[in-house]
Amino acid sequence: MTNTSLAPRPRSRRLTRTAVVGSAAAALLLAGCGADAEASADALIVGTDLTYPPYAYFVGETPSGFDPDITAALAEELGVEAQYSDTRFEQLIPGLKAGQFNVIASALYITAERAQEVDFIPYFSTGNSILVTEGSDPLADAADLCGLTVGVIKGGDIVQRLRTDASAECTAAGSEPIDVREFTTDPEATQAMLSGQLDAHVTDAAVAASLVENDDVDVTITSTQILYPIPVGLAVAKGDSDTKQQLEKALEDLRSSGRYAELLDQYNLEEPNEDQIAEILGS
């Protein structure tokens, strides 16, 4: 998906949020984009995993959370509609590269490896927390996970952080490596922990906080600080400079209006750290 144009519609700035669930519905939505799935001038097609509160999830049939909120605001600045393709996390980058949507907005951590496949627009910073079931022994940091069975979302940066980096530190200290189990969705990992299949669940800090606030889920955060703090980016196809520049301009407009700061504050998030981004990307 290159040379994409998201030309604004001067006559209307009204948004509609359409969740596209499943390949058949996605094909219908993208029919207006042409055989090569170039962007329609009337829509910003957003790939997001709508199983991941508070970032992206359904309220009834409506996409909700930080990512739908901010992409709706970006689309409004562009004068187009925001429409959503509900896609499991590990399929987001392949879907973007296949032209199924214009942008990924799904708490996608910025890494050097991913930057070889997509172009990033940094838009907030986060990290990870350790969740355990109520009454379990507290696990303060990654070192406490040595020898334990830990659930994570499939395709997330945390997979390699635990399986490679943290596990190497475990074995160097004479302990067993972490047994990292991947799950297609974050709720599946939570349920596996609650059913006794896992010792812990490591997930995004904001996601963990939302689970603790849910009275129906008996879990608690025991990590004493954010693990592996990292910037997060919107992602467009590699070389899609038109869409990237338009989204960057729209984000700057949201920043100038104060709407961006309001959304970050609403979801207890922070602006990305430019020095950290430069370090990650080697620039």
Looking at the predicted structure, is the pLDDT value of residue 93 above 50?
Answer: yes
Angle at 17 (CA atoms; ends 212, 8), nearest 5 degrees: 130
Looking at the predicted structure, is the pLDDT value of residue 31 above 80?
Answer: no
Q: Which whole number is the average pLDDT over 62-91?
A: 97
Q: In the sheet where 56-59 sits, what is the strand order?
A: 51-52, 56-59, 62-64
pLDDT digits (tens, 9 = 90+) for 127-158: 999 999 999 999 999 999 999 999 999 999 99
Q: Where are the domains of the chain?
A: 17-125+231-281, 127-228
Indicate the pLDDT class of residue 42, thresholds 50, 70 and 90: confident
Fold type of domain 17-125+231-281: D-Maltodextrin-Binding Protein; domain 2 (3.40.190)
pLDDT digits (tens, 9 = 90+) for 167-214: 999 999 999 999 999 999 999 999 999 999 999 999 999 999 999 988
Indicate the pLDDT class of residue 32, thresholds 50, 70 and 90: very low
128 with 159: CB under 8 angstroms?
Answer: no
49 with 87: CB under 8 angstroms?
Answer: yes
Tokens of 250: 């729209």
Tell me, what's the pLDDT at 16? 35
How many residues can be counted in the chain? Answer: 283
Q: Which whole number is the average pLDDT over 245-273?
A: 94
Please tell me if the domain spanning 17-125+231-281 has the same topology as the one spanning 127-228. yes
Q: Which whole number is the average pLDDT over 39-63?
A: 90
Tell me, what's the pLDDT at 70? 98
Tell me, what's the pLDDT at 5? 52
Looking at the predicted structure, is the pLDDT value of residue 97 above 80?
Answer: yes
Q: For strands 149-153 and 179-183, give the pairing.
A: parallel
Could you give the CA distance from residue 96 to residue 238 in angstroms, rounded to a whole number? 9
Could you give the CA distance from residue 148 to residue 39 in angstroms, rounded to a whole number? 45
Fold type of domain 127-228: D-Maltodextrin-Binding Protein; domain 2 (3.40.190)
Where are the extended beta strands (E) located within the chain? 17-21, 43-48, 51-52, 56-59, 62-64, 81-86, 103-104, 118-133, 149-153, 179-183, 200-204, 219-221, 227-237
Percent of the chain residues past pLDDT 90, beyond the cut: 78
Which amino acid is residue 273, in one-letter code?
N
